[in-house]
Structure formats: structure tokens, C-alpha cells
Amino acid sequence: MAQVLTNYPASLPTPPTTPTKTAAAADGASIHVPLPPAAAPRKGKPGYIGNLTPSQEARLRALWAIAYKFVEMCEADESFQDAVTLEDKFVPPAMKPGAAATATQRRKLKRTGSRSGAVGPQRNPELVRELLSLLPTQERSMDRLEAAALDALDHWTPHMFRITLLHTVKQEHPDELALRFLRRSGWDVVAACKGMGRTIYWRTMEAAIDDDILRLGEGGAAEDERNGQGHARVLGAEFMKLLRSGKGFLHGNDREGRPMTYVRVRLHKPGEHSPESMERYIIYLLEMARLSLRPPVETGTIFLDMSHFRFKNFDLEPLKFILKCAEQYYPESIGLIIVHKAPFGTKALWKLIRHWVSASIADKVRFTSGRKDLFRYIHPSQVLAEHGGEDPFTYEYEEPMADENFKMQNTITRNYLLLERQMLVEQFEDVTKEWVMNAQGTPRAAEVGRRRDRVCAALTANFWELDPYVRARSLYDRRNCLSGTGNLQYHPPKSERRRRDSAMTGGPGGGGRPRSVSSSSGGARSSIMARSVLGGYSSSVSGVGGVGSVGARSSISGAASSGAGTLTTCSILGSPVKEDHFGEMEAVDMTTIADDSSFYSD
């Protein structure tokens, strides 16, 4: 957490584009962000927010209690101060080289009953015992429970937990994320902890979703397609081709209000795109679907359009990746899977494939063949005309506009909003600890729970304000479908779209926008995306002859790198950092990075 704060002076000036929302006491007292009024109680489905049984709420409380106790005890240990490199901070013991062999040896020692000769990185036994004391469980074998807890804790580091609320949680209530893993694990708190740890590691260190896929987005891919080099240019071109093809897109809601993601299988040709491009495209669609969720809806619908399907369109690898993501990294996110107009033999094939997926996903598959079947799950007004419905929508991709991501150059406002988010995260931590400590079902616990919900509402509002500064705009932003906390608009008025387009391009009636750095011409363009030594993506910009690169994958556009190392932006740190030749990260003084004041007028 301190990584973000080290880049701020003692007293922050009022940001140019955002009114001051924080006030700090002169004597250094804790900082609090004003909270919105309490929202109406939320009533969801059984096992969801607002509709938890006492036993389910107890497990949710235990999950937060164990998480904060784990962080507290680890940060009190002297070894915590020794974590200086990115690997030390964000690679848990289970993901380090040799972890699999170590785990095998531990299991052998456990089977033989030996408690000596511990192998590999072991958590403090006192930590494990204290965490287990917070766990509501009926497990009789404490040795088995202790082994499971050790395995789960090996998938976490304190720094990983700190970034969960800062970056992994988006517009949803933090309990939504926790409950997804609890439901997936059958309300097993230890298994849920392990699943969350694996997911956080995958998002930050392997897929680099926030730092690469969402930060560069469609505009970055289009820039790489035009001016990239080598592998980056190939990835950019393939990603844009997938977007233009309409192979997958979001549109409409089903009868339960779940946003629908259409997948037109007939447009897929195996081998046409590299596996890496397909996986990036699938993750991008999943993230767009996630951003389209609005409470109380917490799941989406996949519409698998198999009309005009031929055997040449069949490809097992993308299907396996989608199912893997749905089970491991986006658990409990799919409410319904509609397989429409499947050809003869598909149901027999499904009987084989369903053994690869969990029963919770397999039970959500529905086969439809005509209008009447579709109307059972989707209202006719939401069914596309090509499927016999009343919606005349046809997919047409709108190219990224030149300056749609100009806010991402405004690092002062971005950092100010990140600081505000960190303050809200600290408030959430305090009120959650208070919530856990109060007896469940008491009036005091209910009052603290309402204050906790207000902090979560403030986190949601902060996310939507921060979003345009850290995420490149998408097709759904250009079409004004994603409108913050409001409902999704799949058919925005044409007058509104014309007014927005005119404003963005500086046309008649629009105030005009400054040109973004990514659309500037000239200068050395460096769009090379390299895998980091940890297996994730690393976006960097290096100076060539004293001139900063301005390619799409340059993390800080227009900033010349001087001295040893390069400048890079790492989403898990939330601030610009300097990477030396040994892969270590250190904070960079924000005053060394110039900001063009022309970007501050919105």
C-alpha cells in the first residue's frame, strides 16, 4: 500500500479537473472520504448479497477475518520488510519454482505422520493455528485442516491482498467477489481463500489484465496495428480483426436482466489467429461483460449462436479456455448458456464435453432451436431480428477515435483518484474489522454493516470516476452503453451519439479535444511487448537518443527515460515505478514526470 503513497507530497494541491474530496487534519489524523447516503437494502438470490443464511454470513465474516489477520501477522514479521522485489511481493510461495515438488514432499510427510524435516517455505505455525481459530468448521481432523490451510496460505502474500480492493474489485461490492469463490467452493472458506489467491496472481502476474489488456485496449491495439513492431504489431492486427469480425459482442439482456454476450461460432476459423490473440480477446470480452453488471444482477448470459455452423468451425482450444476461465478465474459469473440452432450431433458431443466442466456450469446450458424456445429465456424485444425477434440491431464495429483516451495522460488526476481509493480501502478495512468483531445478528452489527455498505458505494463511485484514467475506451464506451452506475443503453439516441462524436473530434458544435500522445505522428515508435521474467506482461518505454518512445505499448507516453533502467507502469503498484536491470521496482518521484496542462480541461 505504501507504494502508492510514496509518490505524493505531504500536502496535495487541489486537482485541476476533480473537486477536492478529501480533507486531512493538520496533525496527521486519519483521512476520511465523505460517504454517500445509505442505499436501500439489497435483496438477491439465496447465497448472494442481501440473502445469506446465518451460516453463509458466518463464513463470509470468517473469510474477511482470516484475510486481515493474515496480513496483520505477516506485516508484523521481520521478513516482511525484506520483500523488496516484485517477485518477493507478488509471487506467493506456491507459484515459485520448485513449489510443486515441495508440495508433493509435504503430502508424503503428512501421510507418514512425520512432523519433522519441514520442506520449503513454511508459514509460522502460530499463524496457522490462530487463523484456524477464526474458522467455522465441522472438520474433525485438525491435521487435514491444517494441511489445507497451509496450502491455501501458500497462494497469498500480504501485498497481493492489498491490491485486491485497489485494482481487482471493480464496480461491484467487495463481498460479491468473496461470495463468488465461497459459492464455487461449496462454502469452504479455506478452498475459497486458495481460489482467490490463484485468481489474483493470474490476473496480475500472468494475464496482466489491468496493466496490459484493459489499459491498452482497442486504441492501443489499433496503434500497434498501424505503427507497432514485430510481435506487438501481429497481436494488434489480430485483436482488431477479431473485434471487427463480430465473432463476439455484448448486446441486450435476458428475462432475468442478465447482460448477454453473443458468440457467433460460424465466423470462427481454427488456426486463423494465434492462441495468445484468442485468449486476449476472450479475456477482453469477459471483462466487458463484467463491467456491464449492475446490482442486483451478478451474472451474465452467453448466447452461443451456432446457426450455419460447419464442422470446419469447430475448435476445441478456445472452448476449453472459456470453460477454464468460467470455472477458475470468473467463478459464479455465468447465469445461463444458450446454445441456439445447434446442428445434429451437438447434443451427443455435449455429453462428452460436460465432463470437463463443473456441474454448476453444465446445469446452466440450454438448447434452443427456434423463436419460441428463445422467448422462454429472452423477451422478444431483446431478441435480434436475425433470430426472429424485434431488435433490429446488427453488429458494426466503430473504430477507436483519435483522442478518446486523452484522460489517461492526466496522471495528476489519476493519482489523486488512486489516493482517494486507497483511503476508501483503508476505511473499508477498519469498518470490516469492526463488523467482524461484533456479534452476528445484533443491532450493533447491523448498524456497522450499513456503514460498511456506504463505504462500498463510495468505492463504486470512485471506480467509475477513476475508470477513464486507467482503462482505454472500448466500443461500448463509444456507443455509450457503459454509463457508469446507470443502466446499460444498447440503443443510445442518435442525437446523443452525434453530439458526443462531435465533441471528441472537435467538429461543429463541439468544444474540441486535445490530441492524445498516442495519436501523435513522428518520433521513434516502440510497441514491443515483452514477457517479464515472472510470466506476466511488462509494458515499458526506453529512450532512444534521448527521445521517448510514443508507441501504443509505451507505459508513460512522452516521458523520456534517463539513467539506468526504464520507466514502466505496473497496475499492481498503482503508480509509475522504475525497473532496474535486475527486475526490481522502486518508486519514482512524481515531480520528475511532466504533465501537459492542456489535458486537464474536461
- pLDDT tens-place string over residues 269-279: 999 999 999 99
417 and 433 together in one domain: yes
pLDDT at 2: 36
The answer to whether residue 577 scores a pLDDT higher than 80 is no
pLDDT at 242: 97
pLDDT at 354: 83
**For residues 147-160, average pLDDT:** 88
Cα 519-524-525 angle, rounded to 5 deg:
55
C-alpha cell at 429: 478495512
- What domain count does the chain have? 4
Cα 16-548-563 angle, rounded to 5 deg:
100
437 — pLDDT class (breaks 50, 70, 90): very high
Cα 427-429-430 angle, rounded to 5 deg:
65
- Omega prior to 492 cis, within 30 of 0: no
C-alpha cell at 95: 507459484
Check residues 35 and 251 and name the one with the higher pLDDT. Answer: 251
The answer to whether residue 33 scores a pLDDT higher than 90 is no
pLDDT at 187: 94
255 — pLDDT class (breaks 50, 70, 90): very high
Identify each DSSP E strand in 341-426 by its residue range. 365-368
pLDDT at 42: 63
481 and 382 together in one domain: no
The answer to whether residue 590 scores a pLDDT higher than 70 is no
Among 459, 485, 511, which residue terminates a domain?
485
Question: For residue 184, which of 45, 47, 366, 284 has the smallest C-alpha distance?
Answer: 47
60 and 200 together in one domain: yes
**For residues 572-586, average pLDDT:** 37
204 and 230 together in one domain: no
| Owning domain of residue 449 | 404-485
Question: Which string of b and e fits 98-120 if b means at least 16 CB within 10 Å?
Answer: ebeebbeebeebeeeeeeeeeee
41 — pLDDT class (breaks 50, 70, 90): low
**Integer angstrom CA distances of residue 526 from 213, 241, 406:** 17, 21, 19
pLDDT at 76: 83
**For residues 181-204, average pLDDT:** 94
**For residues 554-574, average pLDDT:** 36
Span 322-339, pLDDT tens digits: 989 999 999 999 999 999
- Answer whether residue 261 is part of any domain: yes
**For residues 67-78, average pLDDT:** 86
- In contact, 217 and 209? CB cutoff 8 Å: no
pLDDT at 351: 83
Cα 12-414-229 angle, rounded to 5 deg:
140
Among 387, 420, 448, which residue terminates a domain?
387
**Cα gap 474→62, rounded to integer Å:** 38
C-alpha cell at 108: 508424503
Check residues 375 and 162 and name the one with the higher pLDDT. Answer: 375
- Answer whether residue 584 is part of any domain: no
- In contact, 218 and 243? CB cutoff 8 Å: yes
The answer to whether residue 27 scores a pLDDT higher than 50 is no
523 — pLDDT class (breaks 50, 70, 90): very low
262 and 356 together in one domain: yes
**For residues 378-397, average pLDDT:** 95
pLDDT at 592: 38
- Answer whether residue 6 is part of any domain: no
- In contact, 477 and 405? CB cutoff 8 Å: no
Q: Which of 12-21, 290-299, 555-564 has the highest mean pLDDT?
A: 290-299
The answer to whether residue 557 scores a pLDDT higher than 70 is no
C-alpha cell at 28: 496527521
**Integer angstrom CA distances of residue 126 from 68, 74, 132, 245, 479:** 15, 11, 10, 56, 54
- Answer whether residue 253 is part of any domain: yes
Span 104-133, pLDDT tens digits: 555 554 544 444 333 334 555 666 777 777
Q: Which of 337-351, 517-531, 579-593 has the highest mean pLDDT?
A: 337-351
The answer to whether residue 500 scores a pLDDT higher than 80 is no
- Answer whether residue 237 is part of any domain: yes
**Cα gap 228→211, rounded to integer Å:** 18
307 and 410 together in one domain: no
135 and 160 together in one domain: yes
- Answer whether residue 165 is part of any domain: yes
475 — pLDDT class (breaks 50, 70, 90): very high
As beta bridge partners, residue 570 has 575
Alpha helical stretches, state H, 471-533: 475-478, 494-505
154 and 281 together in one domain: no
Residue type, 371: R
Q: What percent of the chain has pLDDT over 70?
A: 67
55 and 198 together in one domain: yes
Check residues 142 and 297 and name the one with the higher pLDDT. Answer: 297
C-alpha cell at 184: 464455487
**Cα gap 45→56, rounded to integer Å:** 13
Residue type, 229: Q
The answer to whether residue 56 scores a pLDDT higher than 90 is yes
pLDDT at 99: 63
C-alpha cell at 316: 476445441
**Cα gap 232→223, rounded to integer Å:** 10
233 and 346 together in one domain: no
- Domain holding 308: CATH number? 3.40.525.10
pLDDT at 134: 72
410 and 296 together in one domain: no
What is the average pLDDT value for the chain, to the nearest integer?
Answer: 76
**Cα gap 462→216, rounded to integer Å:** 21
- Answer whether residue 286 is part of any domain: yes
271 and 345 together in one domain: yes
Give me the sign of the Cα torsion angle 27, 30, 31, 36: negative
pLDDT at 126: 67
Question: For residue 567, which of 597, 535, 526, 596 has the smallest C-alpha distance?
Answer: 526
Among 187, 211, 235, which residue terminates a domain?
211
3-state secondary structure of 103: helix
- Answer whether residue 554 is part of any domain: no
The answer to whether residue 287 scores a pLDDT higher than 90 is yes
Q: Among 56-60, 464-468, 550-554, whose mean pLDDT is lowest?
A: 550-554
